[in-house]
Structure 1
């Protein structure tokens, strides 16, 4: 079971790193074909959480808690 948890943790770390790399590539190089608009999707998600008010803040707290 610990082996599976470690594998999932490693995989999640890789995915988060790839997302961060995509955001940086989108900001630095503009419209990068292989990125697929990660920065705009991230901005839309942040706007959606902001529009949701308290529920958005709760969802953000849960998401941050999952990454800790």
Structure 2
């Protein structure tokens, strides 16, 4: 459901959720609006989420000893 159809409070709250920007980007690409700013926001959001995920995963595995061989 597009957030423009949602109540105002829910639309305002959705601006905090990063998946909103990814969904908006996919919607714009699906209908062929490749110059829509939503694509740039979605790509930036995806890059930020990727960087956070890789950083968190790397720290977790280093802390858990996932990168060392146990012989």
Q: TM over 0.5: same fold? A: no
**Greater RCO structure (CA 8 Å; 6+ sep):** 2
Structure number with higher helix proportion: 1
Q: Which structure has the larger Rg?
A: 2
